Structure 1
Amino acid sequence: MQILLNEVQYYKNFDELARDVLEMAKESMPDRLIYLTSLTKQQQIILKLSESHPDIRIHEGMEIEVNETVCNRIDFVNNTPLVLEDMSLETNLDNLRAALVAANINSYLGIPIILSNGDTFGTLCAVHTDAMIINKKCVTMLQRIAKLFSYYLDLERLAYRDSLTGLYNRQFLYKYFEEISTTGGALLFLDLDGFKKINDLYGHDTGDLVLREVALRLESFVQTHHGFAVRLGGDEFIVNLVDISNREDIRALADMLLSRLSSWDTQLEAFNLSVSIGIVLYPPEENNNLKVLLKNADNALYRAKANGKNSYQFF
């Protein structure tokens, strides 16, 4: 599950650690511009640069469509660095040629930053305007630095992730509304129907498997819609949809969630496992009190369950 850029700003000493990483990498490759990125399925974000470079046209906070980046060519599955000493000779980069010329980059080293659970965080990169030899010892050193940085990321993300499902937890949700949320949206409070029977009959191990599967389906859902998913605890989840206020659009998304969480294999089908959803809208640029929003969404959820479950209600 991908790390939101919003999450990173909560990490203790992230800026300081990022600077240390870049300085250590710079000692190995002093003639290169070194930078850290984060990657999602849609974008690459330039997080930190070792220094501003007058001839290389990338900057902190820069967002690039992931298909237009060299970093997207890294083998993240096998955690293998990408070494391109003279990018002008790489015919497989022809579709990126205009972007490379615009950035004025012709030598590239990209080190994947992989978390302990196999998720991709981003890259540690070293670039130059000219074709340059890339020493194997330098590659190994940057790999070690990236690995140490991934250990730090693992420790920090534990504070904002649910240990069972990997979704965001209640602490992240509160932080988001206290410190980040400036756009309006919709808070969807989800509660599984029939889950208690599964725990009672098959035990908590099977129940945990169901919760993980629900989390995967919610994560897939929010990756294609602007928002994030949270496990509050037990079989209660939150889907926060950002910058959406049209009720018809929200109804369509709620219908999608009902469909995704009501189709199961034959063993679970007998329990009529489904989901009930309470929905509350909140306006932009206001101090939205999360406790009030959750209370209102829970009220709507109660009415959805009272109306026969496997349904949703607006507050």
Structure 2
Amino acid sequence: MVITLQELQMYRNFDELASDVLDLAKEILPDKLVYLTSFSDKQQIILKLSNIDTSILLTEGMVINLNETVCNRVDFENKLPLIYEDIREETCSDDLRNILEEVNIKSYLGIPISLVNGERFGTLCVAHHEDSHFDKKSINLLQKIARMFSYYLDLEHFAYRDSLTGLYNRHYLSKFFEDHSKTGGVIFFLDLDGFKKVNDIHGHDTGDLVLKEVALRLQKIVNEHNDAFAVRLGGDEFIINFSQISTREEISKRAEHVLNCLNTWDSEYQLSTSIGIVPYPVDSNINLNTLLKNADNALYRAKTAGKNSYKFF
């Protein structure tokens, strides 16, 4: 699952460590622009630049369509750098050459940064507005720096993730409400109907597979919305948070969609979902524990109303 910019902003000392990574890289190639990027499913974000190079038209926070970036050509599978010492002399596509020339990059080195599980994070890049030579020793040192940075990312990433499903965990939810809840939104508190029977009849290994499938379906739902994320609280309890959702009609529409996504299973699994819904206003000071308690109350009413349904608090 992709690390979002919002998640990165929660990491302890991320800005400081990113700056240290770039400073180390600049010690190796002092006359070049060095920068860090991250990938989402469809975009690349320029996270941090080593310095402001007016010759190269990149800025911190710049968002680029991933298919239109040179970094997307880096070989992540084999963990190999992408090297263009003179883009004018390279046997690459005209599209790629145009992409680099548009930002005045004549030479480029891209080092892949991946998590331990193989998931792409982004790149450590070196660029210059003139042709350059990248020697093997410099490339090896940059790869080591990128690898050390990926270890840090892994430690932070898994501190906020549920180990079974890969969804966010309660720690992430708590941190989100410390930092971002003033934007307003709505919490969906989900509980699987019939999950205990799956464990009792088919065993906990099968139960774990069901939970992983639920997580995949929830992740697909939240990927449809830029403002949403999913959490596994524990057991068969999940949270979806939607930010900046305004009308009760829209909330109900999304709840129906969630129910429809989670009530289709093989006949051997008699599963569905109940949802308790709690909106929270912009700039609210409401405590997360209070929100969850209210959502649990609404969830209980959805369960007693016949399951496979939702109720507002």
Q: How far apart are residue 95 of structure 1 and its match? A: 6.6
Q: Which runs of 5+ in 2 are unaligned?
A: none
CA distance in 1 between counterparts of 2:94 and 2:255 reads 41
Q: How far apart are residue 195 of structure 1 and its match? A: 0.7
Please tell me whether residue 225 in structure 1 is matched to residue 225 in structure 2: yes
**One-letter amino acid matched to 1:215:** A
Q: How far apart are residue 73 of structure 1 and its match? A: 2.2
Match in the other structure for 2:263:
262
Q: Which runs of 5+ in 1 are unaligned?
A: none
Contact 2:70 2:96 in 1 (8 A): no
Please tell me whether residue 246 in structure 1 is matched to residue 247 in structure 2: yes
Match in the other structure for 2:237:
236
Q: How far apart are residue 127 of structure 1 and its match? A: 0.7
Aligned ranges for residues 69-80 of structure 1 at < 5 Å?
69-80=69-80
Q: How far apart are residue 57 of structure 1 and its match? A: 2.1
Shift of the 250–16 alpha-carbon distance from structure 1 to 2, 3 Å rule, reads same
CA distance in 2 between counterparts of 1:87 and 1:277 reads 55
Q: How far apart are residue 91 of structure 1 and its match? A: 4.9
Contact 1:34 1:125 in 2 (8 A): yes
Match in the other structure for 1:43:
43
Count of residue pairs the alignment pairs up: 311
Q: How far apart are residue 67 of structure 1 and its match? A: 2.7
Match for residue 275 of structure 2 among 274, 277, 298: 277
Match in the other structure for 2:300:
302
Shift of the 120–81 alpha-carbon distance from structure 1 to 2, 3 Å rule, reads same
Contact 2:87 2:97 in 1 (8 A): no
1:19-56 per-residue CA deviation (whole Å, 9 max, x = no partner) reads 22112222222221111111101322222211221212
**One-letter amino acid matched to 1:256:** H
Shift of the 181–102 alpha-carbon distance from structure 1 to 2, 3 Å rule, reads farther
Q: How far apart are residue 314 of structure 1 and its match? A: 2.1
Contact 2:110 2:124 in 1 (8 A): yes
Aligned identity (percent) is 60
Match in the other structure for 2:117:
117
Shift of the 285–73 alpha-carbon distance from structure 1 to 2, 3 Å rule, reads farther
**One-letter amino acid matched to 2:198:** I
CA RMSD of aligned residues (A): 2.0
CA distance in 1 between counterparts of 2:250 and 2:217 reads 19
Aligned ranges for residues 138-177 of structure 1 at < 5 Å?
138-177=138-177
Contact 1:177 1:288 in 2 (8 A): no
Match in the other structure for 1:10:
10
CA distance in 2 between counterparts of 1:169 and 1:148 reads 25
Shift of the 21–93 alpha-carbon distance from structure 1 to 2, 3 Å rule, reads farther
Match in the other structure for 2:103:
103
Q: How far apart are residue 90 of structure 1 and its match? A: 5.4
Q: How far apart are residue 124 of structure 1 and its match? A: 0.7
Determine helix, strand or coil for the equivalent of 1:182.
helix
CA distance in 1 between counterparts of 2:277 and 2:73 reads 40
CA distance in 1 between counterparts of 2:67 and 2:251 reads 29
Contact 1:276 1:312 in 2 (8 A): yes
CA distance in 2 between counterparts of 1:208 and 1:310 reads 21
1:85-137 per-residue CA deviation (whole Å, 9 max, x = no partner) reads 2334555252772x534422222111111101122211111111123233233
Shift of the 195–11 alpha-carbon distance from structure 1 to 2, 3 Å rule, reads same
**One-letter amino acid matched to 1:287:** N
Shift of the 253–77 alpha-carbon distance from structure 1 to 2, 3 Å rule, reads farther
CA distance in 2 between counterparts of 1:279 and 1:258 reads 13
CA distance in 1 between counterparts of 2:150 and 2:6 reads 18
CA distance in 1 between counterparts of 2:250 and 2:68 reads 30
Shift of the 257–92 alpha-carbon distance from structure 1 to 2, 3 Å rule, reads farther
Q: How far apart are residue 286 of structure 1 and its match? A: 2.7
Match in the other structure for 2:93:
92
CA distance in 2 between counterparts of 1:68 and 1:314 reads 44
Match in the other structure for 2:201:
201
Q: How far apart are residue 79 of structure 1 and its match? A: 2.9
Q: How far apart are residue 162 of structure 1 and its match? A: 1.2
